[in-house]
Amino acid sequence: METTRNWREIFITQLIKASGYSAIIFVAMIFYFLIREGLPTLSEVSFSTLFSTRWYPIEAYYGILPLIGGSIIITIGATLIAVPFGIGGAIYIAEIAPRWLRDMLKPLVEVLGGLPSVVLGFLGILILSPNLRILLDLPTGLTALAGSLLLGGIAIPTVVSVAEDALDAVPKSYRDAALALGATEWQTIWRVTLPAARSGVLTAVMLGVGRAIGETMTVMMVTGNAPMLPKGLSALLAPARTMTATIAAEMGEVANGSVHYHVLFFIGMVLFIISLIVNVTASAVVFKQRKRAERILS
Amino acid sequence: MTALKQILRETALATVFYSIYNPVLMKLIRSFIPLLIFIAITGCSTPTGASDDGPLPTTNTIENKGSDTIVNLALAWAEQYQKLHPEVRISVTGGGSGTGMAALINGTVDIANASRQIKAKEIESAQANGGDPVEFIIARDAIAIIVNLENPVNELTLRQLSDIYSGKITNWREVGGEDRPIVRLSRETNSGTHVYFLETVLRLGDKEDKTLFSTNTLLLPSSEGISVEIRQNPNAIGYDGLGYVTEDMKVVAVARDAGGPYIYPSAESVNNGAYPIARDLYMYTNGQPTGAIAAYIEWILSPEAQPIVTALGFVPVLNP
Amino acid sequence: MNASSKSSSRQIKQRLGFSLLAVMTLATVIPIIAVIIYIIVLGSPAISWEFISGFPSDGMRSGGIWPAIVGTFYLTLGTAVFAVPLGIGAAIYLSEYAQNNRWTQLIRIAIINLAGIPSVVYGLFGLGLFVLFLEFGTSILAGSLTLSIMTLPVIISTTEEALRAVPQSFRTVSISVGATQWQTIRRIVLPQALPGMLTGVILGLERAAGETAPILFTVAAFFLPRLPGSPMDATMALPYHLFVISTQVPGMPVKIQYGTALVLLIFILGMNFIANSIRSRARAKRQW
């Protein structure tokens, strides 16, 4: 009886250890797979073609620059929306709103985060882009701007929840000290609380940006998917094509092992690496800040 | 494996024990009962495969995939056929002609729908994988040029269409319309309709021509996407199968040359060759079809199924 | 400038600032409410017993969406089957067993990365590995496996948080009366952390249920005449169905589109609501 219990305990402990390492295994598997299917691109498609400005894969124009540009301009637009509204909302909910209001607002914002992207895309085609066209007198409402607005909306809940948690975590003593020194609540927020929560807020923004870069269905439905190289911020008012929409739209049509197939995996690789960089940087910032905070508070 | 069995038994007992005493855990268990039933059921069943060559089993599954132009027609056919033959299951998926072709080459589909002919390279790839595509023409289609109801333009030549879509013509007043920028709508590159339009209209049938769509052509993921934009945007021009044209859009008459007669797309103008942008719609199988697949295709080409073609706005292969 | 005017100008600044932030928050929240109300108003005329329990007919322009509902249900279940044990195991490892060494840091970075990978890249990976390489074909199995890897980070982080919230004293007391580590976890820590874990699992599954990109190439079908019979079958699913009927089918009645959106919304928000109520009930009943 004693030995079976030990046996069981060891077995279960090993299972748990294995599950713990599974995350690393999955990331490695995904990375391996993307590389395995994406890297052949570099031998099949010349560098100059790959970095040209024409994306028309059925005639072997594999220029991915317009796609990268499209993703970047839409993400920039989404960030310009998500950061002010997200941080502003987080500050309001965490610091200013009375308790009853906060208990109502927090779940409501989370609901926005739960809305399936396809629902937002669907509303985008029917409501947002026609109105954008009329409001801004554009040739068409299917533009990068429509994508940015919807993506900003999707990213805001992420920014709000993480930033709100970060602001909440700032010790009350900081605020009390500032107020005792005669600062108004407003000044306290901007000069004490927010800087103290800096790393958490930064993480929130990066997670929101990450969410925006990775969004697929919404952009596929409202941005027009035209592979145009964006030239400056005015490109927001023109259609664009993101890397994610390209993969989603074209993946179904590729024959296993063809050049197009490899190029799409290559794009997937690029997306993976971008999200890797964003996430590792965000976590490095948090680790560094946490270490510093531990040093200060000890 | 007694240790494993003991672990499982212990876990089950613990769960039951706790569930009696802990209401939250009870909720967890209750929500997982369907899960356990699911596992129990599916653990006992074997995977079903698509039907292939051989004697007709009692239930047959046909996988039908490909062109978005054809998908609604394929769906209507599938619905009707399954009413007549309930032992056959037909699953229909879109994704574009390219998707159907890729699936045919990969061997993951029984019937591929395509709104363009299979390319030589695709035939090669299929044969390299041990397949042998067989072609069936199942209907004919006119590509209608559609614009917003408010657009005063009624007629265009093929040359004008080519110049519009390649970006040479950018304003409606250059073709007799109002002073508005032209917004070009197109299907995605995986669409057979797109490829057909590229070859027939942009390149005017010239195989050596390398003209491409202008970069600011909107590539919409579906025919309906084009319709939605046309309905509310007076700047837009689009192309789509006749079956997708509704009353809230305007169809433009097309002429082969500047002098020639401007023809509207219809079953008649397709069949007598007057309308310049007409094409055949295809279904491809891997090798000569047998069994349920053969029966289905035979039915599609029969006078029973072709009226459905007309009902959906396409042109039947058989002239009654 | 004397003291009182300085303080009143600061007061004005504060009031302006607060109002600005309030307006911004409102500007974020009002569209959400508007969207939900809009969908409810336009979608509820379509909701009926036939709509929920019937099959699509007439080229999906009428009839019901039952196969899509069932498909989403099966996919969510399938995701739970794979992601829940693995995720909870990993969380237990991180919270109870792992030391603060480089390997653990690597695991955490891996989890953060999994959380950030775009959903379409998961679809690509699922296509490459499960559908093609392992030859599962477009099946519930392939879709569930893909979705479960995607859901893993959410389950792991929320479960770990729930486990960590259980006070260390509980564990210390248990060990001191002679229990092994696993016994402590199973009988003491897990039951206490259960509500938090449940919340995390439900939130993760909610996300899996609403995603379209990962299932595009791994499981979703445009139309199936019958319900899936085994995990190797493809299936319809609500998010993909909404995408398809709003973009692929001509002449689709608006109310069917909004009706489908409404059903999807109810599914998602329902899970959200359940998760939230478990969380607040548990917070109230907490034993520490």
**Four-point Cα dihedral C112, C113, C119, C122, nearest 10:** -130
- Averaged pLDDT for residues B206-221: 86
CA distance B126 to chain C (A): 16
Calculate the average pLDDT of chain A: 84
pLDDT score of B5: 59
Interface confidence: ipTM more than 0.85: no
CA distance B58 to chain A (A): 31
**Four-point Cα dihedral B166, B168, B169, B171, nearest 10:** 100
pLDDT digits (tens, 9 = 90+) for B161-177: 999 999 999 999 999 88
- Averaged pLDDT for residues B135-141: 89
B204 touching C (Cβ < 8 Å): no
Please list, in sequence order, all residues whose beta carbon lies within 8 angstroms of the beta carbon of residue B30, skipping any fewer than 6 positions away: none
- Could you give the CA distance from residue A73 to residue A143 in angstroms, rounded to a whole number? 11
A115 touching C (Cβ < 8 Å): yes
pLDDT score of B16: 53
Q: How confident is the model at residue B11 (pLDDT cuts 50, 70, 90)?
A: low
Q: Which residue in B164, A79, B33, B82 sits closest to C57, CA to CA?
A: B82
Evaluate whether A70 touches A242 at the Cβ level (below 8 Å). Answer: yes
pTM above 0.90, yes or no: no
Contact A111 C272 (CB under 8 A): yes
- Could you give the CA distance from residue B126 to residue B105 in angstroms, rounded to a whole number? 4
B182 touching C (Cβ < 8 Å): no
pLDDT score of B51: 33
Give the number of beta-carbon pairs within 8 Å between A and C: 252
Tokens 């063809």 locate to A258
- The separation between CA B22 and the C-alpha centre of its own chain, rounded to angstroms, equals 53
Contacts of A4 in chain B (CB under 8 A): 2-3, 6
CA distance A246 to chain C (A): 10
Q: Which residue in C210, C213, C265 is closest to A216 by CB distance? A: C213
Q: Which residue in B221, B99, B205, B219 sits closest to B162, CA to CA?
A: B205
Contacts of C249 in chain B (CB under 8 A): 72, 224
C27 touching A (Cβ < 8 Å): yes
Q: Which residue in B39, B68, B91 sits closest to B296, CA to CA?
A: B91
CA distance C287 to chain A (A): 22
Tokens 């336009």 locate to C42
- Could you give the CA distance from residue A254 to residue A247 in angstroms, rounded to a whole number? 10
Residues 39-78 of C with CB under 8 A from A: 39
pLDDT digits (tens, 9 = 90+) for A199-237: 778 878 888 888 888 888 889 888 988 898 888 878 888
A154 touching B (Cβ < 8 Å): no
Tokens 């077995």 locate to A11
CA distance A297 to chain C (A): 20
Residue A116 C-beta-side C-alpha neighbours within 13 Å:
32
Residues 62-81 of B with CB under 8 A from A: none
Evaluate whether A284 touches C105 at the Cβ level (below 8 Å). Answer: no
Q: How confident is the model at residue A294 (pLDDT cuts 50, 70, 90)?
A: low
**Four-point Cα dihedral A177, A179, A185, A187, nearest 10:** -80
pLDDT digits (tens, 9 = 90+) for B36-81: 555 555 443 333 333 333 333 445 788 888 887 788 889 889 888 8
Contacts of A264 in chain C (CB under 8 A): 124
In this model, does residue A33 exceed pLDDT 60? Answer: yes
What single string gives the DSSP state of each residue in chain A?
A: -HHHHHHHHHHHHHHHHHHHHHHHHHHHHHHHHHHHHHTHHHHHS-HHHHTSS-EEGGGTEE--HHHHHHHHHHHHHHHHHHHHHHHHHHHIIIIIS-HHHHHHHHHHHHHHHHS-HHHHHHHIIIIIHHHHHHHHT-S-S-SHHHHHHHHHHHHHHHHHHHHHHHHHHS-HHHHHHHHHTT--HHHHIIIIIHHHTHHHHHHHHHHHHHHHHH--HHHHHHSBT------SGGGGGS-B--HHHHHHHHGGGPPTTSHHHHHHHHHHHHHHHHHHHHHHHHHHHHHHHHHHHHHHH-
Neighbouring CB atoms inside 10 A of B69's CB total 33
In this model, does residue A52 exceed pLDDT 50? Answer: yes
Dmax (CA) for chain B in angstroms is 89
From residue A158, alpha-carbon distances to A205, B117, B248, C34, C148 in Å are: 8, 47, 41, 20, 21
Coil, strand, or helix at residue B103? helix
B95 touching A (Cβ < 8 Å): yes
Q: Which residue in B14, B224, B243 is closest to C247 by CB distance? A: B224
Hey, which chains touch B, using 3+ CB pairs under 8 Å?
A: A, C
Mutate: best of A53, A140, A242, partner B, most B CBs <10 A = A140
C57: left (phi over 0), alpha (psi -120 to 50) or beta: beta
CA distance B93 to chain C (A): 4
CA distance C194 to chain B (A): 8
- The separation between CA B266 and the C-alpha centre of its own chain, rounded to angstroms, equals 21
Please list, in sequence order, all residues whose beta carbon lies within 8 angstroms of the beta carbon of residue A277, skipping any fewer than 6 positions away: none
- Averaged pLDDT for residues B283-307: 87
Evaluate whether B115 touches B187 at the Cβ level (below 8 Å). Answer: no
Sign of CA dihedral A74, A80, A83, A84: negative
- Averaged pLDDT for residues B187-193: 82
Please list, in sequence order, all residues whose beta carbon lies within 8 angstroms of the beta carbon of residue B282, skipping any fewer than 6 positions away: B113, B114, B115, B116, B117, B118, B135, B136, B137, B138
Calculate the average pLDDT of chain B: 80
C91 touching B (Cβ < 8 Å): no
Angle, CA C39 vertex, CA C36 and CA C41 arms, to 5°: 105
pLDDT digits (tens, 9 = 90+) for A61-115: 888 999 999 999 999 999 999 999 999 888 888 888 888 888 888 778 777 777 8
- Could you give the CA distance from residue B172 to residue B151 in angstroms, rounded to a whole number? 9
Minimum mean pLDDT range among A244-258, B235-249, B250-264, C9-23: A244-258
Contact A225 B219 (CB under 8 A): yes
Residue A225 sits at φ, ψ, to 5 deg, of 55, 30
- Could you give the CA distance from residue A232 to residue B151 in angstroms, rounded to a whole number? 32
- Closest-CA residue in chain B for A235? B216
Burial of A80 (C-beta count, 10 Å sphere; 0-12/13-18/19+): middle
Burial of C206 (C-beta count, 10 Å sphere; 0-12/13-18/19+): buried
Q: Which residue in A58, A229, A255 is closest to B102 by CB distance? A: A255
Contact B7 A12 (CB under 8 A): yes
Q: What is the pLDDT along chain C (288 residues), one digit of tens a residue?
A: 455 566 788 888 888 888 888 888 888 888 888 888 888 888 888 888 878 888 887 777 777 888 888 889 889 999 999 999 999 999 999 888 888 888 888 888 888 888 888 889 998 899 888 887 888 877 889 999 999 999 998 888 888 888 888 888 888 998 899 888 888 888 888 888 888 888 888 888 888 888 888 888 888 777 777 778 778 888 888 888 888 887 777 677 778 888 888 888 888 888 888 887 887 787 777 766
Residue C153 C-beta-side C-alpha neighbours within 13 Å:
17
Angle, CA C87 vertex, CA C81 and CA C93 arms, to 5°: 140
C182 touching B (Cβ < 8 Å): no
* Residue A223 structure tokens: 């941005």
In this model, does residue B30 exceed pLDDT 60? Answer: no
Contact A225 B220 (CB under 8 A): yes
Q: How confident is the model at residue A265 (pLDDT cuts 50, 70, 90)?
A: very high
- The separation between CA A256 and the C-alpha centre of its own chain, rounded to angstroms, equals 29
Contact C225 B28 (CB under 8 A): no
Tokens 């289905």 locate to B296
Evaluate whether A175 touches C1 at the Cβ level (below 8 Å). Answer: no
In this model, does residue A165 exceed pLDDT 60? Answer: yes
AA letter at B2: T
pLDDT score of C267: 86
- Could you give the CA distance from residue C87 to residue A26 in angstroms, rounded to a whole number? 12
CA distance B152 to chain C (A): 25
Minimum mean pLDDT range among A22-31, A101-110, B255-264: A101-110
B225 touching A (Cβ < 8 Å): yes
pLDDT score of B57: 40
Q: Which residue in B2, B181, B215 is closest to A227 by CB distance? A: B215
CA distance A139 to chain B (A): 6
In this model, does residue B179 exceed pLDDT 50? Answer: yes
CA distance B223 to chain A (A): 12
Evaluate whether B147 touches B249 at the Cβ level (below 8 Å). Answer: yes
Contact B72 C282 (CB under 8 A): no
- The separation between CA A24 and the C-alpha centre of its own chain, rounded to angstroms, equals 21
What single string gives the DSSP state of each residue in chain C?
A: --HHHHHHHHHHHHHHHHHHHHHHHHHHHHHHHHHHHHHHHHHGGG-SHHHHHSPEETTTTEE--HHHHHHHHHHHHHHHHHHHHHHHHHHHIIIII--SSHHHHHHHHHHHHHHHS-HHHHHHHHIIIIIIIS---SSHHHHHHHHHHHHHHHHHHHHHHHHHHS-HHHHHHHHHTT--HHHHIIIIIHHHHHHHHHHHHHHHHHHHHH--HHHHTTTB-SB-SS---STTS-B--HHHHHHHHHHT-TT--HHHHHHHHHHHHHHHHHHHHHHHHHHHHHHHH---
Contacts of A125 in chain B (CB under 8 A): 225, 228
Contacts of B106 in chain A (CB under 8 A): 255-256
Mutate: best of A3, A4, A6, A16, partner C, most C CBs <10 A = A16
Neighbouring CB atoms inside 10 A of B47's CB total 14
CB neighbour burial string for A53-78, b if at least 16 within 10 angstroms, e if fewer: ebbbbeeeebbbbbbbbbbbbbbbbb
Q: Which residue in A294, A260, A274, A214 sits closest to A38, CA to CA?
A: A260
pLDDT digits (tens, 9 = 90+) for C100-124: 888 888 888 888 888 888 889 998 8
Coil, strand, or helix at residue B91? strand
pLDDT score of A288: 65
Residue C278 C-beta-side C-alpha neighbours within 13 Å:
24
In this model, does residue B32 exceed pLDDT 90? Answer: no
Q: Which residue in C58, C186, C194 is closest to B25 by CB distance? A: C194
Contacts of A8 in chain B (CB under 8 A): 3, 6-7, 10
